[in-house]
Each structure stands twice: as C-alpha cells, then as structure tokens.
C-alpha cells in the first residue's frame, strides 16, 4: 500500500488541505449569513451560486489546463479559492457573497479535474482500486473535519475565514514542490442530455433529482439547525452527520446493488430518504442528539443514491462511453443542486425551517415513483453488461474518475501537446488539432497559443521535465 500511495502523497495532502477549508466554509457560511441577518432566500441563492459555479467550472476548467499545464492551472485555481474564502467579511453583502461562492464552485471543479486526471494517470489495473478508494476516503474525511472545526471556532469575527483561507492556500504547497511529472490526459465535459437519457433515463433523471435533494440538504442543513435553535457545535455535528452517515453507507449499499437490479436499491433509498425527511419536517427534533442521529440516518439513506444511479448508467454503456456518461451525470446532478437550494429557501420563507425537509421528502418520493415507472418499461440490463460496483468510478466528486483507465484515443480525452513539463515536443498546430478534434469545431476566438509561446515554455522548463523522466 505504501508503495502505491507514495507517488501521490503530495497530491493527497493537497486534497486534504483544500477540502478542509472547503468543509469549514460549507458550515460556516450559512451560520454566519444568518448571524448577519441575511434572509433564507439570500442564503439559498448563495448555495445555488456555488453549484452554478461548479457546473461552469466543469465545462471551462479544461481550457486552463490546456493553456497553462496542470501545476500552473492548479496554483491559479487554488489562489482564487483562497482569495474567495477571505473576502466574505470584507464584502458583507448577499449579492457579493453569492458571486464569491460561485467563484469558489468554479475553483473546486477545476481542482477536482486536475487532481483526478493526475490520479487516473497514476492508476494501473493492479493499484487502481486502492488508490482511488484512498482518494475518496481523504475527500470525505477532510470535508467532515472542516465542518467539525466550527465546534472550536467562533463563527463571528474574522478568524474563521482566515483559517479557511489559510487551509486552501496551503493546498498549493505540496503540488508546487512535487518532483513528480504532471500528467498528460485530461477529459472534456460533453453534456448531451438527450443522448444520455436514451442510454439510461433512470440514471440521468435520478442524478438530477438527487442533486435537488442532496445538494440542498448539504448546503442548507446548517441553516436549518441554526434556525431551530442549535448552538454552533450542534450545527456542525448536525451537518457533518449527513456526510458521515453517507460515507458509512456507500460500500455496503453499493455491494448490495451488485446482487439485484440497481433500480430496486435506488427506489429503497429514495423511499427511505423521503420518509426520514418527512418525519424531520413533520416532527421537528426537540433535542440536538436526536436531530444529529436523524441527520445521520438521512445521510445513510440519501448520500449513496448518486453512486447507485451512476453505477446503473455504467451498466448500460461500454467502457468507451464511461467518460461522457460520468461527466454528464455530474452535470445533471450539478444542475439539480443549483436549482434545489434556492427553491428550498423559498419554502423555508413560507413554512419555516421545516420547508427544507418537506421539499427533500417530496423530491425523493417523486424520484421513487419515476424509477418504479421506468421498471415497467425497461428490463434490467443483461448480466454481460452488469458491472461490479466501483465507488471510485461512481463517487460524487469531480466526475473525471471512471470505472476503467482513461483511453487516450477517446474523443473525450485529450493529451495536451503544450505543457510546462511536456510529454512530447510542443507544437502549436498539434494543440489546435487536438482541441478541434475534442470539440468537433473551431477553437474559441479568445484562445490563441502561438508556436513561440510553446517554444518559450518548453525551453524554460523542458530540462526539468527530462530530468524527471530520467528518474
């Protein structure tokens, strides 16, 4: 195991630091916004802006990597994330916070793209499971740890934002100092909803509805806990219980889905989630321990749903379609997550805090009804296509991880010819050809890489790259 993880230790450390700051912000911002007197609608708008920025980053971040290379794009994105984290108390206004939150969503999408491209290149058939599973564990642990930091930090004042910014800033250090050669393959997101719907209607509709429910729960749970009177520590425990419960459920629920039609499992998760959310809405928890336990149960039932929907989609496609399917499902989930928080905030304004879980309950019951309908019109995929559950390939992270190694001949995978540490001699015409092939069209007018720029970067850093290869 140590031999497998040593080459990516710096990368995993960067992931832990970045997501520690991310987890802290996720719990801190709704609490602080409520303390500042922001309305529930304003807080919901901030949450929607985050997911909107994430969706935009999925589409546009590959250009930053192609233009500057993985390490420099990574440094730029992390710097943007650090600046975002510290601007909130400076620009103390709801619209400004929504814009900042959107920029952070963009940053995180690019961060995931770079990290997961790196991991995919390091993975082999022998070590892929261990490597990707470790990445998912680090991801969940860091976010949960960041949420729990609020138990020991005062949400008022400047300190909490400074610590979030520092954690994000430090994420650039391990990668900047690594001697590992940066990877070549990156993936382009190509979202064709109708094509994906024809492949697996249950998966794409499921991803959209799961985003409506889970994205809303994850971002507005701290506000709910705050509005029913919990102190800052209990707010943090309530929010982190959702992630922790989901982490416990991923593997056993995934393995269960290997033994039957995954849609049965998805229906069970949706019904359980809808019931628990309905109970929370109808019988507001009167004690913090009860509320935290209920949040953990809801996380256990709801958080694995995306992975099951993704696994169901992979059962219907061949390996050469995994990249487009994974990216499409992530974007559908992101669109749902963008709509959900704002819609829930409107209900919270009308119904009080219980409006959040009333909406989640309705969404999950509608999802269950839709999957039941789909089972009447389409049979379970054949045993030949039914794949083994793979958490790394179906986890709700950046959407670049796939159940199979990346195929560089795929139209959705591009090997950059222009790179600060080039894999091949940079050639501007080859770069243009690769981009045009990936997008099946002309390059955007604002992108112009000249041969002289490519040669300049190659001469400046080529020796370092060759030395790295020699090692």
Question: What CATH number is attached to the domain comprising 304?
Answer: 1.20.1250.20
Q: Is the dihedral of CA 154, 156, 157, 162 positive or negative?
A: positive
Q: For 258-280, how does the pLDDT look when each residue is reduced to its tens digit (9 = 90+)?
A: 888 888 999 999 999 999 999 99
- 179 has pLDDT over 80: no
Q: For 287-342, how does the pLDDT look when each residue is reduced to its tens digit (9 = 90+)?
A: 899 999 999 999 999 998 988 888 888 877 776 667 777 778 888 888 999 999 99
Does one domain contain both 332 and 435?
A: no
Tell the burial category of 284 from Cβ atoms under 10 Å away from its Cβ (0-12, 13-18, 19+): middle
- 443 has pLDDT over 80: no
The residue-averaged pLDDT of 364-383 equals 84
Cα 161 to its chain centre, rounded Å, is 22
Query: At CA 29, angle to CA 28 and CA 35, rounded to 5?
Result: 90
- 217 has pLDDT over 90: yes
Contact 276, 297 (CB under 8 A): yes
The bridge status of strand 413-414 relative to strand 186-187 is antiparallel
Q: How many domains does the chain have?
A: 2
Residue 74 domain flag: yes
Residue 226 domain flag: yes
- 4 has pLDDT over 70: no
Measuring CA to CA, which residue among 277, 324, 281, 280 is closest to residue 305? Answer: 277
What b/e sequence results for 454-471 when a residue is b if at least 16 CB atoms lie within 10 Å of its CB, and e otherwise?
beebbeebbeebeeeeee
Does one domain contain both 276 and 422?
A: no
Residue 234 domain flag: yes
**What does the alpha-carbon distance between residue 264 and residue 271 come to, in Å, rounded to a whole number?**
11
The reported pTM is 0.80
Residue percentage of the chain with pLDDT more than 90:
44
Residue 399 domain flag: no
Contact 272, 304 (CB under 8 A): no
- 22 has pLDDT over 50: yes
DSSP-based three-state secondary structure for 228:
coil
- Residue where one domain finishes, among candidates 394, 426, 444: 394
What pLDDT was estimated at residue 375? 87
Average pLDDT, the chain: 80
- 442 has pLDDT over 60: no
What pLDDT was estimated at residue 182? 65
Does one domain contain both 376 and 438?
A: no
Measuring CA to CA, which residue among 29, 103, 31, 113 is closest to residue 66? Answer: 113
Q: For 102-119, how does the pLDDT look when each residue is reduced to its tens digit (9 = 90+)?
A: 999 999 988 888 888 777
Does one domain contain both 372 and 439?
A: no
- 216 has pLDDT over 70: yes
CA-CA-CA-CA torsion for 233, 237, 239, 241, nearest 10 degrees?
Answer: 180
Does one domain contain both 303 and 428?
A: no
The residue-averaged pLDDT of 17-45 equals 93
- 400 has pLDDT over 80: no
DSSP-based three-state secondary structure for 245:
helix
Q: For 240-255, how does the pLDDT look when each residue is reduced to its tens digit (9 = 90+)?
A: 999 999 888 888 888 8
Which residues contact residue 55 at a Cβ distance below 8 angstroms, ignoring those fewer than 6 apart? 105, 109, 331, 334, 335, 338
Contact 323, 281 (CB under 8 A): no
Query: C-alpha distances in angstroms, 450 versus 60, 65, 439, 456, 469?
Result: 20, 16, 19, 10, 26
Does one domain contain both 433 and 367?
A: no
Does one domain contain both 36 and 183?
A: yes
**What does the alpha-carbon distance between residue 51 and residue 341 come to, in Å, rounded to a whole number?**
9
Higher pLDDT, 436 or 72: 72
Residue 401 domain flag: no
Does one domain contain both 201 and 330?
A: yes
**What does the alpha-carbon distance between residue 175 and residue 268 come to, in Å, rounded to a whole number?**
42
What pLDDT was estimated at residue 408? 66
Higher pLDDT, 423 or 234: 234
Q: What is the residue range of 460's domain?
A: 417-470
Contact 70, 118 (CB under 8 A): yes
Does one domain contain both 203 and 308?
A: yes
Does one domain contain both 345 and 452?
A: no
Does one domain contain both 49 and 118?
A: yes
Query: At CA 174, angle to CA 169 and CA 177, rounded to 5?
Result: 115
Residue 407 domain flag: no
Q: What distance, in Å, lies between the first and last C-alpha atoms of the chain?
A: 21
Residue 409 domain flag: no
- 147 has pLDDT over 70: yes
**What does the alpha-carbon distance between residue 442 and residue 230 come to, in Å, rounded to a whole number?**
54
Residue 410 domain flag: no
Contact 334, 201 (CB under 8 A): no
Does one domain contain both 320 and 364?
A: yes
Measuring CA to CA, which residue among 397, 385, 399, 394 is closest to residue 324? Answer: 399
């Amino acid at each position: 195991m140590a031999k497998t993880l040593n080459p990516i230790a710096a990368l995993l450390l960067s992931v832990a630091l970045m997501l520690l700051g991310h987890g802290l912000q996720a719990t801190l911002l709704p609490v602080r916004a409520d303390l500042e007197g922001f309305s529930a609608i304003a807080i919901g708008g901030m949450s929607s802006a985050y997911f909107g920025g994430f969706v935009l980053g999925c589409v546009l971040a590959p250009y930053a990597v192609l233009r500057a290379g993985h390490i420099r794009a990574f440094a730029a994105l992390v710097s943007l994330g650090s600046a975002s984290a510290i601007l909130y108390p400076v620009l103390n206004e709801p619209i400004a916070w929504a814009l900042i939150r959107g920029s952070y969503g963009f940053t995180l999408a690019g961060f995931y793209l770079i990290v997961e491209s790196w991991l995919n290149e390091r993975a082999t058939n022998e070590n892929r499971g261990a490597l990707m599973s470790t990445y998912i564990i680090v991801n969940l642990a860091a976010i949960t740890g960041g949420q729990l930091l609020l138990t020991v930090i005062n949400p008022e004042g400047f300190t909490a934002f400074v610590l979030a910014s520092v954690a994000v800033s430090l994420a650039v250090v391990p990668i900047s100092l690594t001697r590992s050669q940066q990877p070549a393959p990156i993936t382009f997101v190509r979202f064709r909803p109708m094509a994906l719907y024809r492949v697996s209607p249950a998966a794409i509709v499921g991803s959209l509805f799961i985003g409506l429910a889970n994205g809303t729960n994850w971002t507005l749970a701290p506000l709910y806990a705050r509005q029913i009177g919990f102190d800052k520590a209990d707010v943090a425990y309530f929010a982190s219980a959702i992630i922790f419960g989901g982490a416990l459920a991923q593997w056993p629920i995934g393995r269960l889905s290997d033994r039957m039609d995954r849609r049965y499992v998805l229906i069970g998760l949706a019904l359980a989630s809808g019931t628990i959310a309905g109970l929370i809405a109808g019988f507001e928890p009167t004690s913090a321990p009860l509320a935290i336990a209920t949040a953990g149960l809801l996380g256990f039932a709801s958080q694995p749903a995306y992975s099951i929907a993704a696994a169901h989609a992979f059962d219907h496609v061949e390996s050469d379609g995994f990249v487009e399917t994974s990216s499409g499902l992530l974007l559908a989930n992101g669109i749902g997550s963008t709509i959900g928080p704002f819609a829930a905030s409107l209900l919270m304004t009308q119904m009080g805090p219980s409006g959040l879980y009333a909406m989640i309950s309705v969404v999950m019951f509608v999802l269950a009804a839709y999957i039941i309908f789909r089972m009447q019109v389409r049979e379970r995929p054949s045993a030949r296509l039914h794949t083994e559950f793979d958490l790394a390939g179906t986890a709700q992270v950046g959407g670049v991880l796939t159940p199979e190694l990346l195929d560089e001949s795929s139209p959705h995978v591009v090997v950059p010819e222009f790179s600060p540490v080039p894999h091949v001699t940079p050639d501007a015409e080859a770069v243009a050809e690769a981009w045009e092939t990936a997008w099946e069209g002309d390059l955007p007018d604002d992108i112009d890489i000249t041969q002289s720029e490519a040669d300049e970067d190659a001469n400046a850093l080529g020796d370092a790259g060759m030395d790295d290869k020699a090692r």
